[in-house]
Structure 1
């Protein structure tokens, strides 16, 4: 069996499992990398040792533990699929672990920077800027993923109850609250929204069809420049900002988990590190008996 056959088999299985196009494309890229580093040897000829060597080569090429862990998961899934279909007898990924990588915290805007970004008054207000403001308010107000934002239909928004129905990973639905300012921005956008006949998407482009994720990223990057932001702002940064700011105020990790749509609490717990950093900065700045400056604490964190 060659790699094309293996990939086609695995992709068909992913379709049956309801995996998104983006997820399937990511799996394909990771498996193609395995084929490349093993010199296109037939997939069923690879051994446990071959998998370890493949990881070592990719690690030496600059990939970190997080990327390699994702790749290994894709490879393992491929072989599990082949075994289920009687096309392979063993999974060569069994017992293989990727190298560990450093703990990476998500980037989040300070509260005042987020407010400045969203409260900025533009020199010219147009239909597009009305739409953009509604999108960015919604990302920050409800902590949506970019793909969740692009999937929204008009009927998913309940302005009266201030709720949004979101289709998350694995097509799991959840209801999230809609902030007052986001609701106001959405109401204005809905009054100006134009769409081709039959288009149900909440956010549409100039042609009246559903707006894509890449377009949203570009509009937000442009918005951050126009409003004087000192950093590049991405949709995921607004989601991280939502989570960290909410946790700073409430300390309710379970509630934040539900709002973000995380399946596991451990995924949400990374924001407790962000919250501690915020508290440490307040202490270092305000307490008269603080033993360390903020710089010294940062240096300690980086060296640990």
Structure 2
């Protein structure tokens, strides 16, 4: 029979051999105590995969979130893996058990009016001219932050002829249209860039030191810009990508086109924006339909 003492021995192994942090050890201790409780009087080494699935279903029915169940299962697998190595268990019954799927979180987006408020503000100095060009390009073309930061002044991955060519995920290159406002903002930035850029620097967007602007600095500058415009939400680069996708889908209804523009390998990834579109329609319905309002 697996005793609490053996669980303590496993936790000691994690602490001394695996150098697990106190926080990790606390989590493992709690998760393993949960397993002991669910097993009741049965020895843990007598449990099979069916038992583990039943325990997972019970945790889920009890309101434990999918992410917490996944962590709990990981702790259980670790214990059984150790017991097998110690010769105390013949197999790992948690090995093939999967946690319930976590519901997909809907991406945060700006409304079209909020996007206009953010982007219509006029820059007041040279760095803000650069920032404005960056934010217009984010929203115009739906780029990832790494794609935007990696753009060069010219060459393969750059803005030319009303398009931007980027090197995206899975080593895929894609071309995306650039709107007129973004092109105008970039044109305003280029003379300033010529004064700031270090000799031989290829980056389209450079820092005060003349070197390629980092992704961290882009995030900070966007956060600052949004605060200056009094935005009621925290604005970050991927929110502009989400907003681009949502607004294009709302206007066109063309999911395949949005998939191509975003560079998603699977359309199932893009379909999250249809939920946003329906959410928008539901709000309009609740506000406008005379039989939708609650008394």
Scaled to the shorter chain, the TM-score interval is 0.5 to 0.7
Q: Partner of 2:126 in structure 1?
A: 127
Q: Partner of 2:285 in structure 1?
A: 283
1:266 aligns with 2:265: no
**CA-to-aligned-CA distance 1:95-129 (integer Å, 9 cap, x gap):** 3423332331000001100011000135xx21100
**CA-to-aligned-CA distance 1:256-289 (integer Å, 9 cap, x gap):** 00000101100000000000111122222233xx
3-state SS in 2 of match to 1:174: strand
Q: Partner of 1:140 in structure 2?
A: 139
**Take 1:67 and 1:220, find their aligned partners in 2: how far apart are those partners?**
33
Which ranges in structure 2 are unaligned for 5 or more consecutive residues? Answer: 1-23, 30-47, 74-91
The equivalences for 1:243-258 within 5 A come to: 243-258=245-260
The equivalences for 1:57-136 within 5 A come to: 65=66, 95-122=96-123, 125-136=124-135
**Take 1:201 and 1:279, find their aligned partners in 2: how far apart are those partners?**
41
Q: CA RMSD in A?
A: 3.8
**CA-to-aligned-CA distance 1:198-247 (integer Å, 9 cap, x gap):** 21111111111111111111100100011121111010111110010000
The equivalences for 1:164-175 within 5 A come to: 164-175=164-175
Q: CA deviation at 1:37?
A: 5.5
**Take 1:116 and 1:197, find their aligned partners in 2: how far apart are those partners?**
36
Q: Across the two proteins, how many residue pairs are aligned to each other? A: 233
Q: Partner of 1:188 in structure 2?
A: 188
Instruction: State which structure, 1 or 2, has the greater radius of gyration over its C-alpha atoms.
Output: 2
**Take 1:121 and 1:246, find their aligned partners in 2: how far apart are those partners?**
24
Q: What TM-score do you get using the length of structure 1 for normalisation?
A: 0.66
Q: What TM-score do you get using the length of structure 2 for normalisation?
A: 0.67
